[in-house]
């Protein structure tokens, strides 16, 4: 029976994560497996890998063949390098202590690289968030300026309207103040005097004949009184 180190899919749609398992090569991809040696979650950045290094090395030394994806994961976590060092120990090229020291040194360097990558990603994410906030603030400022520019003519018209009304009121008030002066003009005062003179003259003429009649009336009476004396 040949054994493979491969991925077993878990999770939900579009949010999958995987188990790293040792399974019979004849079994279905997501079917039965012999042992789970780790997990791989590609939904994070960087990807989260939880791996039992010693059990993975044991399966490799027992002849298990990893798939291409699992080989890349094992190499990333140092399993392939440790397997290489143990082969050197088996051949007598180095001791087990030397192999462990080299592996620990490699792990320290790798963890430093991973931490540096995480810090770069965090800084890039913070810079991207800051730039997006600045862009949004600029857009809001431009919109506010556009609204102010759009409403400014209306505000000027509203401010100008009371001024025109006030000027119209001033003109009407001035006209009312000047109106009495026009009525008190000399021409208006002379008109009634002419009418009074015209009215007085006929009355005098009318009184004159009445006086003459009154003066002539006794003469007529005297003539009548004289008639019987004859």
Residue 127 confidence (pLDDT) above 70: yes
- Residue 105: inside a domain, yes or no? no
pLDDT-derived band at 58, boundaries 50, 70, 90: very high
- Residue 226: inside a domain, yes or no? no
List pLDDT tens digits, range 144-182.
988 888 888 655 565 555 555 545 555 455 545 454 454
List pLDDT tens digits, range 108-125.
888 888 888 888 888 888
Output the pLDDT for position 139: 93
Mean predicted confidence (pLDDT) in 89-118: 88
For position 28, which CATH number holds? 3.30.1320.10
Number of structural domains found in the chain: 1
pTM tops 0.85: no
Residue 217 confidence (pLDDT) above 90: no
Mean predicted confidence (pLDDT) in 223-229: 46
Rounded Cα–Cα distance for residues 76 and 50 (Å): 11
Average pLDDT, the chain: 76
- Residue 150: inside a domain, yes or no? no
- Residue 67: inside a domain, yes or no? yes
Mean predicted confidence (pLDDT) in 19-48: 90
């Amino acid at each position: 029976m040949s054994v493979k180190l491969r991925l077993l899919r878990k999770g939900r749609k579009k949010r999958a994560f995987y188990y790293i398992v040792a399974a019979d090569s004849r079994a279905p991809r997501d079917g039965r497996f012999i042992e789970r040696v780790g997990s791989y979650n590609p939904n994070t950045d960087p990807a989260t890998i939880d791996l039992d290094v010693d059990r993975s090395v044991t399966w490799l030394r027992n002849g298990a063949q990893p798939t291409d994806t699992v080989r890349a994961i094992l190499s990333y976590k140092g399993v392939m390098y440790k397997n290489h060092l143990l082969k050197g120990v088996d051949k007598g090229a180095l001791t087990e202590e030397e192999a462990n020291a080299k592996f620990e040194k490699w792990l320290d360097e790798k963890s430093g690289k991973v931490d540096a990558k995480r810090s770069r990603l965090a800084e890039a994410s913070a810079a991207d968030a800051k730039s997006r906030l600045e862009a949004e603030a600029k857009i809001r400022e431009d919109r506010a300026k556009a609204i102010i520019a759009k409403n400014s003519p209306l505000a000027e018209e509203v401010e100008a309207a009371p001024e025109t009304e006030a000027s119209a009121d001033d003109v009407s008030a001035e006209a009312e103040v000047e109106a009495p002066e026009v009525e008190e003009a000399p021409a208006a005062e002379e008109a009634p005097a002419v009418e009074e003179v015209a009215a007085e003259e006929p009355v005098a003429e009318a009184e004159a004949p009445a006086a003459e009649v009154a003066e002539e009336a006794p003469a007529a009476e005297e003539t009548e009184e004289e008639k019987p004396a004859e």
